[in-house]
Amino acid sequence: MTIGPAGAALGAEIRGVDLKNIGSADFAAVHRAWLDHQVLLFRGQELSDDDFIAFSRRFGNLDWAPIQETGRRFVDGYPEIYVVSNVIENGVPIGSLGAGEAAWHTDMSYLEDPPKASMLYALEIPPRGGDTWFCNMYLAYECLPDTLKQRVQGLSVKHDGTYNSGGYVRQGVTAVDDPVTSPGALHPLVCRHPETGRRALYLGRRRNGYVCGLTLDESESLLNELWSFVVRDQFTWRHEWQTGDVVLWDNRCTMHRRDSFDADARRILHRTQIRSESRPAF
Ligand code: SIN
């Protein structure tokens, strides 16, 4: 097994490993690499849903998948698997997020206990488009200008639970476009990673984000400043998918977004969410 950087800002590719049969010494090295590089890529995997769940469980207990836009919760028999897809079968989408852009976000941060990690397994990938971008939120925090770094200390952000990253209203939620009153969970704007001890910005998603205790204008102005800073090229890495790729990321110190792709092409990925042992905290 070899481990090499995938991008300048974050990410590593691990080669020479079959995730169906990974021994404890190799798993320990994978776990270390995940904490060091925040996102891991394994190419050429051939996994059943059971294999994918078994490998995901090596990192911790799994959360059930969020409810899809159709109201379906999960793949039959696999409540842990979230389907990311634009494919429509018998008039019904088999997954979530369609073929449009998915905006920058960290997974499920509208919950009090968001998952610490997520893993995607690529089953069908379009010939072009649909790349997924990752952003290093440790580095973004560390590089903040001093004045901005001081301004964010001690603040909390409301992470909106109205819309998913594809812009679709979540099941059971009434659309509210007022960041002050929209539903969501509060988390510190700067969080300390419980395993590495490093500090990272924890922004969640931009739409309906709200910095508690500020006026709406002050909150919008601070969030706009932070968001335009953190998604600079120097903090990001772009992943071009191949069928058989598995990508694991740490939701506590990264964000991700997805490019749009041709709606007539097929894209199907399965995702698991690994439960956190602690809430986001400073
Ligand atoms: C996600 O946000 O989990 C999906 C990303 C993707 O479609 O590549």
Smallest CA separation from ligand 1 atom 4, residue: 84
Whole-Å CA distances, 277 to 60, 118, 163, 194, 195: 9, 14, 26, 9, 10
Per DSSP, the three-state class of 14 is strand
Helix %, strand %, coil % of the chain (to 5)? 20, 30, 50
List Cα–Cα distances, 144 to 153, 185, 225, in angstroms: 12, 25, 10
Q: What is the pLDDT along the chain (282 residues), one digit of tens a residue?
A: 999 999 999 999 999 999 999 999 999 999 999 999 999 999 999 999 999 999 999 999 999 998 877 777 678 899 999 999 999 999 989 999 999 999 999 999 999 999 999 999 999 999 999 999 999 999 999 999 999 999 999 999 999 988 877 788 887 778 888 898 888 999 999 999 999 999 999 999 999 999 999 999 999 999 999 999 999 999 999 999 999 999 999 999 999 999 999 999 999 999 999 999 999 999
Q: What is the DSSP letter of 78?
A: B
Q: Say if ligand 1 is within 6 A of residue 106 CB.
A: no
Cβ–ligand 1 distance for 253 under 6 Å, the answer: no
Can you tell me the distance from the alpha carbon of 173 to that of 160, in angstroms, rounded to the nearest whole number? 11
**What is the model's pTM?**
0.95
- Token pair 């335009």 is found at 228
| CA of residue 174 relative to chain centroid, distance | 24
H or E segment to which residue 54 belongs: helix 49-57
